[in-house]
Structure 1
Amino acid sequence: MQPLGAVLGALALVHSAAASPIQTPEIASRGEHVATSATVTNFKVSRNNTHINYAATIQVHPNHGKALVYTHATKGAEIPETSNFWDSPDPDLYFRFNRVPSAAHGEAYRLVLTDSHVIGQSINLAYISPAKEWSGKYGRVYTGDAEFKLE
């Protein structure tokens, strides 16, 4: 049988080891705010002989700083079903579009901005543009609004 002091000392060691927190990496925030909406202005789509070119200015809310200009190009004369991510001055904001079936609008294009400034909490903000605003081959490319809100 061990003396009471030795038992209590061993229990104290076990208790202090169990009480210390396990060192786990904290989820780090790389930005101050998670986006709640964004305003798109100067949305343009133009065509040349080999590519379709896209450009937009996007202001993310709450304020992520100055409005950012996004650009992109796709090969060919027709608007694709989906775009890759547009060139972005902010590596944690991703803008793209994809064609989707929409019960409310028929065929449509969904323009999506993904904010990944907060790890584990990426937010998608979207705008649905009816496909009739996006023309096919050789016609005008985009006839919809140049300004809209992503929510």
Structure 2
Amino acid sequence: MYPFAHDADHPEHPLSDEQAMAQVIEPAKQIAKIAGLQDVSGGFSWESCNDQGDPPYRGRVDMTFIVPLGIDHSSYFEQVAATMVAHGWSSGAPPGQHLFGTVVHKDGVMATIGISPFLGADGAIELSGECRNMNNHRTDSNGFSIKDQLRGQ
């Protein structure tokens, strides 16, 4: 290997568990508040950045919400994205990444906005942090709820 090359499995500046959680939870709270998401709920979990389930890991927040009555869902998702762009986020995926759907990014966090796969929710936002946590989360539980944090409680 080349010692000067970037190694995705060994980030130069790893994040602690607390830093990796904050990297996605704080922006999730920001989106919920600034976009005024209705009946917002969500949870945090760890996601391995490789197919083996080994480090590095990244923090992930999955949020759901209700689209106000009478508003086209796709238009609303675009409106949420535009609102976040007006508050310092960038439109689209980070350079070098290609994703489907409505995407915004900021400070290493990518948020994908779209239709919720869950019954009782219209929309969903998946926030993914950077692959910089080197702790082994293979045996961690499925995560935890951040619903109260998203609702400002």
Please classify the TM superposition score into its range, dividing by the shorter chain length: under 0.3
TM-score for the superposition, normalised by structure 1: 0.25
Larger Rg: 1
Higher share of residues assigned helix: 2
Higher RCO by CA contacts (8 Å cutoff, separation 6 or greater): 2
Higher share of residues assigned strand: 1
TM-score for the superposition, normalised by structure 2: 0.25
